[in-house]
Amino acid sequence: MKVKRILLAVLALIMVATVAVACKPGKPSGDDPSGSQNKWGGVPDGKTYEGYEFVICTYNGGNIGEGWTNYFDVDEPEEGELMQNAANKRNNAIEADLKCTITCYEEWNWDGTMQGYNYVSAKLFSGDDTVNLYFVESPTNMALFVIDEVMYDVSTLPYITWDADYFNKQMNETYMLGNKQYIFASDITYPCQSSTVFLVNKEELTNHNYSENYVYDMVDNGTWVFDKVFEMVEGTYVDLDRDQSYSIDDYYGFAGNPYSITYEFPGAGLKGTYLTDSGFAFDFGTDRAIRVMDKICDFLGKPDVWCKEWNVQDRMFFAGNAIFSSWASEIRILKILDFEYGMVPFPKFDDAQDRYYSYTSSGPMFVPYNITDPDFTGALIEAMSVGSHEELVPAFYDKFIEQRVLRDEKSREYWAKMLTEWSFPEFTREFSPNEYVSYYAPAFTIIQNVSGGGTNNYASKWGAIKDLADEMCQEFYAKFMKNA
């Protein structure tokens, strides 16, 4: 168990270089995004792979499902299902032109454990060389794959146009280990690219004497800061069930959970763990980090804020019983809301902050070390990325607009910016070098503690683990990155 904890710890160090972020602000223009005149970007016209099969391996639901799904291979799309039809059209065109087939297998359950890593590593160590591309569910697993040295350096693959719009530049640059690109993202996984957001009940804004565009105006003029949230929730609590106690059945200015509010920490521009030319560094212990944590904990202590439990939004914000909520899950769930709401970035920490920072994830993939034909693998990654840019991305926006997930022009504008100019690489996920595992340690651990009535001992908590974190980070850097 000690060895596994060390591996998990090192993961975060990789997460330093982790999921950076997504992409395009909407539908592509129709121009060739690679700058090439070829139909499939860097793949020469006329190139064919008669009899070849491009195999993608993912978790159950990772291909077609209701959750985090990417539509890698859809042979029989459901009638009227925009994303499935777009994927089918993309694959049919590639298969017809390159004379190959594209197949996806869903082979393990995503259950919050190490099952993905365990399954894929066992498959690879068994000598299986049938898979060209893996999409696994957790960045944590990615670090272990790096440690196991079972990833192919995709920067050496032919035909791939890394500076094209259909590749996620920021994420890919963040994931570079020395001069090697083991983990990458492109529009192939656009449906799984996401950002943390603030939700605003526009109807409740007007019920509290604000215009429904009040928050939008602040976002646009750069004055959407955390203190404004404090101000707007002040005095909003209502004891709806009249039991003379605070509960999830009452009305609050803000209703969220300890996990999602944690993202005000990166929203303040704090990286947690990050890379420098000489190794890993941290900003957990800076004066700004301490002030941010103090502010978040003060917010949690307000009677107008409920942030104590997980998965209660359906009885609070979703029920219309709050003005604000923070959201850190897939946005397609929001289609069930039966009131008008808006989607905005996490607020700035203060007026001095230069811009909004939206913690983002971008669907990282990897190619196994034992692929039998790098030429074919590079060509299919390029072609599927081009095809996804042309078919899948427009369908994504059409679907989410049609289903009333992105309900107004401002929400669509902000969502696009959160995946581009406001995006903040997903550093430090599940980073913890001692016995607990958390999402933005030690910030997340402290927020959980304070939301449950505990005290804010953030500075001392970080001080207690800093030396061990630094030791593990630098060992990882020396082994996997310094001479890469």
- Residue that is written with structure tokens 């034909």 in the block: 373
3-state secondary structure of 451: helix
Question: Looking at the predicted structure, is the pLDDT value of residue 325 above 70?
Answer: yes
What does the alpha-carbon distance between residue 171 and residue 364 come to, in Å, rounded to a whole number? 8
Give the mean model confidence (pLDDT) for residues 441-453. Answer: 71
Beta bridge partners of 53: 101
Give the mean model confidence (pLDDT) for residues 288-299. Answer: 92
What does the alpha-carbon distance between residue 328 and residue 197 come to, in Å, rounded to a whole number? 7
Average pLDDT, the chain: 83
Confidence at 201, pLDDT banded by 50, 70, 90: very high
Q: What is the CATH number of domain 16-193+362-421?
A: 3.40.190.10
**Fold match flag (16-193+362-421 vs 195-360+428-480):** yes
Q: DSSP letters of 30-71? A: SS-TTS-SSTBTTBPTT---TT-EEEEEE-TTSSSSSSS---
Confidence (pLDDT) at 463: 84
| HEC letters along 292-357 | HHHHHHHHHCCCCEECCCCCCHHHCCCCCCEEEEEECCCHHHHHHCCCCEEEECCCECCCCCCCCC
Question: Looking at the predicted structure, is the pLDDT value of residue 105 above 90?
Answer: yes
Confidence (pLDDT) at 74: 94
Give the mean model confidence (pLDDT) for residues 385-411. Answer: 90
Higher-scoring residue by pLDDT: 113, 447:
447
Confidence (pLDDT) at 402: 77
Look at domain 195-360+428-480 and name its CATH class. Answer: alpha beta
Dihedral, CA of residue 61, residue 195, residue 419 and residue 17, to nearest 10 = -90
pLDDT tens, position by position, 118-162: 899 999 999 999 999 999 875 555 767 877 889 999 999 999 999
The whole model's pTM is what? 0.82
Where would I find the H helices in 371-455? 374-387, 393-402, 409-418, 443-451
Question: Looking at the predicted structure, is the pLDDT value of residue 428 above 70?
Answer: no
Confidence (pLDDT) at 9: 38
Dihedral, CA of residue 79, residue 81, residue 83 and residue 84, to nearest 10 = -40
- With pLDDT > 90 as the criterion, what percentage of the chain qualifies? 51
Confidence (pLDDT) at 21: 30
Q: What is the largest distance, in Å, between two alpha-carbon atoms of the chain?
A: 74
What are the tokens at 34?
A: 């690679």
CA distances from 28 to 23, 160, 396, 475 (A): 11, 19, 12, 43
Q: Where are the domains of the chain?
A: 16-193+362-421, 195-360+428-480
Cβ count near 220 (within 10 Å):
13
Contact by Cβ (8 Å): 269, 319: no
Confidence (pLDDT) at 40: 97
Higher-scoring residue by pLDDT: 329, 17:
329
Confidence at 233, pLDDT banded by 50, 70, 90: very high
pLDDT tens, position by position, 309-322: 777 766 799 999 99
